[in-house]
Amino acid sequence: EDKVVQSPLSLVVHEGDTVTLNCSYEVTNFRSLLWYKQEKKAPTFLFMLTSSGIEKKSGRLSSILDKKELFSILNITATQTGDSAIYLCAFAAISSGSARQLTFGSGTQLTVLP
Amino acid sequence: DGGITQSPKYLFRKEGQNVTLSCEQNLNHDAMYWYRQDPGQGLRLIYYSQIVNDFQKGDIAEGYSVSREKKESFPLTVTSAQKNPTAFYLCASRTGGSGANVLTFGAGSRLTVL
């Protein structure tokens, strides 16, 4: 059975700290891995990763995929209170037709204290 | 601006009542999805639809029903057969084609059964 495991489940840091969020997966027919940020309501898209070893970067956030070891990390440097959110990891599998859906992990609840 | 509109944002229901959650998108996306989110469990797929007048069950479809009469609309009915309906419900959509895995989410509907 395909699955996605995120760790830690929750994390509390202070502003300015650097955090690393982990996502490991077991999936057949892997296509891509996605990261989303959810602040109370709608998850918003952060990154999509399809190739190993290529870092995606957006401001203070970056992410990388290791397809051999089946994991991805999301790094946030110089954290701010606005980074407080649930960070969701999901994978998309190759299917015979259009991608059926994304399979999500349980998320990491990040709290950044002032 | 294009996006996904879910309504109502908050809904209370007595046991034994059916309730319908609305999801409307003006993104011209082909595929639409309903997810359920419970604390610590990430997002679980209820139903999805790739084209008008067609939809498929997801992982937790029991006690739910959907329709897709228009491209823009994908309402979800939570029936009295759903044993534990209290949850946060998210609607999402994406463009067609196997290469497009990024979902756009609505702001969600929180259902509480009294």
Question: What residues of chain A lie within 8 A of the CB of B108, using their CB?
Answer: 41-42
What does the alpha-carbon distance between residue B92 and residue B71 come to, in Å, rounded to a whole number? 13
Q: Which two tokens stand for residue A19?
A: 């955090």
Question: What residues of chain A lie within 8 A of the CB of B42, using their CB?
Answer: 4, 6, 88, 104-107
Bridge partners (DSSP) of residue A102 are A92
Per DSSP, which regions of chain B are E strands?
Answer: 4-7, 10-13, 19-25, 31-37, 43-51, 54-57, 64-66, 76-78, 87-94, 104-105, 109-113
Mean pLDDT of B43-59: 92
Mean pLDDT of B51-76: 95
DSSP chain A: --EEEEE-SEEEEETT--EEEEEEEE-SSEEEEEEEEESSS-EEEEEEE-STT--EEETTEEEEEETTTTEEEEEE-S--GGG-EEEEEEEEE--SSS---EEE---EEEEEE-
Shortest alpha-carbon distance between residue A101 and chain B (Å):
8
Shortest alpha-carbon distance between residue A114 and chain B (Å):
25
Inter-chain residue contact A43 with B101, CB threshold 8 Å: no
Shortest alpha-carbon distance between residue B26 and chain A (Å):
16
Q: Is the pLDDT of residue A108 over 90?
A: yes
| Residue B27 sits at the chain A interface (C-beta within 8 Å) | no
pLDDT band at B97 (very low <50, low <70, confident <90, very high): low
pLDDT band at A99 (very low <50, low <70, confident <90, very high): very low
Question: Residue B33's closest CA among B20, B21, B47?
Answer: B47
Q: Search chain B and give the residue with CA nearest A87.
A: B42
pLDDT in tens, A34-88: 999 999 788 999 999 988 888 999 999 999 999 888 899 999 999 999 999 999 9
Mean pLDDT of B78-84: 90
Mean pLDDT of B20-30: 95
| Residue B114 sits at the chain A interface (C-beta within 8 Å) | no
Q: Whose structure tokens read 């997966």?
A: A25
pLDDT band at A92 (very low <50, low <70, confident <90, very high): confident
Q: A24-38, A51-65, B22-36: which has the minimum mean pLDDT?
A: A24-38
CB A52 within 8 A of CB A65: yes
What does the alpha-carbon distance between residue B48 and residue B57 come to, in Å, rounded to a whole number? 7
| Residue B40 sits at the chain A interface (C-beta within 8 Å) | yes
Pairing of strands B19-25, B104-105: unpaired
Q: Residue B45 is nearest to which of A48, A94, A101, comparing CB atoms?
A: A101
**Per-residue model confidence (pLDDT) at position B106:** 95
Percent of chain A with pLDDT over 70: 93
**Per-residue model confidence (pLDDT) at position A73:** 97
**Per-residue model confidence (pLDDT) at position A95:** 63
